[in-house]
Amino acid sequence: MQDKTLKCKDCGCEFVWTVGEQQFYLEKDFKNEPTRCPDCRRANKAGRQQRRPRY
């Protein structure tokens, strides 16, 4: 296995999908390659949590 360069569909930047992460995906039996860079993935999660209104 080798590190793979993928393109993020959110920001369009290229990011490295490391061998370690690929093995993690294999272990979890994920069929799809990641479509977002780690930054966007994090931003997405954070954004979703922030959008929830707090009283």
Q: Where on the chain is the footprint of Zn ion (CB under 5 A)?
A: 8, 10-11, 37, 40
Torsion of CA 34, 36, 39, 44, to 10 degrees: -110
Residues 27, 40: Cα–Cα separation, whole Å:
23
Q: Which H/E stretch holds residue 7?
A: strand 4-7
Nearer to Zn ion, 3 or 39 (CB): 39
Nearer to Zn ion, 50 or 53 (CB): 50
CB of 32 to Zn ion, least distance (A): 16
CB of 48 to Zn ion, least distance (A): 16
